[in-house]
């Protein structure tokens, strides 16, 4: 499937952007693999463990660090379908976010002409919905849900990425800023109305599901203005080749009135999504370990770190070099 996101882009920085000694002491940069709205993303290798990681480099010289919400959001999220944060490193020039490397590419790249097989689409979409549900439970709205921000790992599991536009919300809170990617944004945002974050995220889910099952966007236009006009009318077609239950779900989500859109919990109860595997169990309220796994702790000790400092780093959620080493080893263990 070809992207029709009509999205803004950022300039790609050259290799020099992640050549600072403090960073290179810990990681070997392999190559650039993409970019988010606020920074370049590299594939790198953690020198101590040999693990491949994704590193997003945010230039703090040209951006107000207080405006960079992504590291703050990822610190509080721990879900099997959300990319894992390992380390946050700040230098004079850059802020480095070291994260799980998924390796399977964007969901966009896995959608053939005509759409995905129903069983695969159902499995992956359920994982996306579960990830978004965890965000909403934590009081976070993503605000840029799209196929390019959903990665697949080597096992074909969905991973939600790029929280650069995300923000915190409280129940009933109205937002009024314009964020997101044109093909996916809700009509109330297009109309510059105050809006609630969760229903706007839900709308984007509907666009994603339509794309997954049909291989095309529900709303298209030859110009950005035409695209936005069609979004505000919420008129679209779902091919008859899409199963009836899935068609009904798409139509329930892509409605003009945000109050009539289903919540995450209601979507997960829909008959089309109740077939197959359930959501992964939600992690406990204390997502990251304060009592380290003894086996992992031994490995961290063998790599030269004090066990007490490891415990302190985990307990205080420092996301420093010690915590990163522990989390990477733990992640490697989980990958088998």
pLDDT bracket for residue 18 (50, 70, 90)? low
The DSSP secondary-structure symbol of 279 reads P
**pTM score, two decimals?**
0.90
Residue 31 has pLDDT above 80, yes or no: yes
pLDDT at 34: 86
Higher-scoring residue by pLDDT: 2, 121: 121
Stretch 226-247: mean pLDDT = 95
- Count of Cβ atoms closer than 10 Å to residue 157 Cβ: 16
Residue 14 has pLDDT above 50, yes or no: no
Residue 35 has pLDDT above 80, yes or no: no
pLDDT at 166: 94
Q: What percent of the chain has pLDDT over 90?
A: 77
pLDDT at 291: 74
What does pLDDT average to over the chain? 89
Residue 19 has pLDDT above 90, yes or no: no
What is the chain's percent helix, strand, coil content, to nearest 5?
40, 15, 45
pLDDT at 279: 66
Determine contact, residues 39/318, Cβ cutoff 8 Å: no
Residues 152 and 120: their CA atoms lie apart, in Å, by: 12
Residues 176 and 284: their CA atoms lie apart, in Å, by: 32
Residues 233 and 205: their CA atoms lie apart, in Å, by: 18
Q: Sign (positive/negative) of CA torsion 167, 177, 169, 126? A: negative
pLDDT, tens digit (0-9, with 9 covering 90-100), for 173-229:
999 888 889 999 999 999 999 999 999 999 999 999 999 999 999 999 999 999 999
Q: What percent of the chain has pLDDT over 70?
A: 88
Report residue 122 as tokens: 């159902």
Stretch 223-250: mean pLDDT = 96
Tell me the domains of the chain and their CATH numbers.
104-268 (1.10.510.10), 288-336 (no CATH)
pLDDT, tens digit (0-9, with 9 covering 90-100), for 48-106:
999 999 999 988 766 665 557 889 999 999 999 999 999 999 988 899 999 999 999 99
Determine contact, residues 213/115, Cβ cutoff 8 Å: yes
pLDDT at 6: 45
Residues 273 and 212: their CA atoms lie apart, in Å, by: 14
pLDDT at 226: 95
Residue 277 has pLDDT above 90, yes or no: no
Check whether 316 is labelled as a binding-site residue.
no
* Count of CA atoms in the C-beta half-sphere (13 A) of 30: 14
Higher-scoring residue by pLDDT: 278, 24: 24
**DSSP per-residue string spanning 209-272:** HHHHHHSS-SS--SSHHHHHHHHHHT-----TTS-HHHHHHHHHHS-S-GGGSPPHHHHHTSTT
Residues 6+ apart with CB under 8 A from 102: 54, 83, 151, 152, 153, 154, 159, 161
pLDDT bracket for residue 8 (50, 70, 90)? very low
Provide the pairing of β-strand 158-160 with 150-153.
antiparallel
Residue 42 has pLDDT above 90, yes or no: yes
pLDDT at 274: 87
Catalytic residues: 144
Residue 286 has pLDDT above 80, yes or no: no
């Amino acid at each position: 499937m070809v992207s029709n996101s009509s999205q803004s882009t950022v300039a790609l920085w050259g290799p020099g952007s992640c050549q600072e000694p403090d960073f290179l002491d810990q990681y070997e940069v392999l190559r650039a693999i993409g970019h988010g709205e606020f920074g370049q993303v590299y594939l790198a290798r953690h020198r101590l463990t040999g693990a491949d990681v994704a590193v997003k480099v945010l230039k703090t010289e040209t951006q107000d660090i207080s405006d960079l919400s992504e590291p703050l959001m990822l610190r509080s999220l721990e879900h099997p379908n959300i990319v894992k944060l390992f380390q946050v490193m700040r230098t004079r020039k850059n802020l480095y976010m070291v994260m799980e490397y998924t390796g399977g590419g964007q969901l966009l790249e896995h959608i053939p002409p005509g759409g995905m097989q129903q069983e695969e689409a159902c499995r992956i979409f359920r994982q996306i919905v579960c990830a978004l549900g965890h965000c909403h439970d934590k009081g976070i709205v993503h605000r840029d849900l799209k196929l390019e921000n959903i990665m697949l790992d080597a096992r074909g599991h969905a991973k939600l990425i790029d929280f650069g536009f995300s923000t915190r919300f409280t129940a009933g809170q109205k937002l009024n800023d314009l964020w997101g990617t044109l093909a996916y944004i809700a009509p109330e945002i297009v109309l510059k109305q105050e809006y609630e974050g969760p229903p706007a995220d839900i709308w984007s889910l509907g666009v994603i599901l339509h794309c997954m099952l049909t291989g095309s966007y529900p709303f298209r236009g030859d110009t950005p203005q035409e695209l936005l006009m069609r979004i505000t009318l919420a008129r679209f077609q779902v091919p008859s080749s899409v199963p009836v239950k899935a068609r009904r779900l798409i139509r329930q989500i892509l409605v003009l009135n945000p109050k009539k859109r289903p919540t995450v919990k209601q979507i997960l109860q829909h008959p089309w999504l109740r077939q197959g595997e359930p959501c992964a169990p939600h992690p406990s309220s204390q997502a990251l370990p304060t009592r380290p796994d003894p086996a992992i702790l031994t490995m961290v000790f063998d790599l030269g770190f004090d066990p007490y400092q490891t415990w302190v780093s985990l307990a205080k959620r420092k996301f420093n070099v010690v915590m990163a080493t522990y989390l990477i080893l733990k992640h490697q263990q989980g990958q088998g």
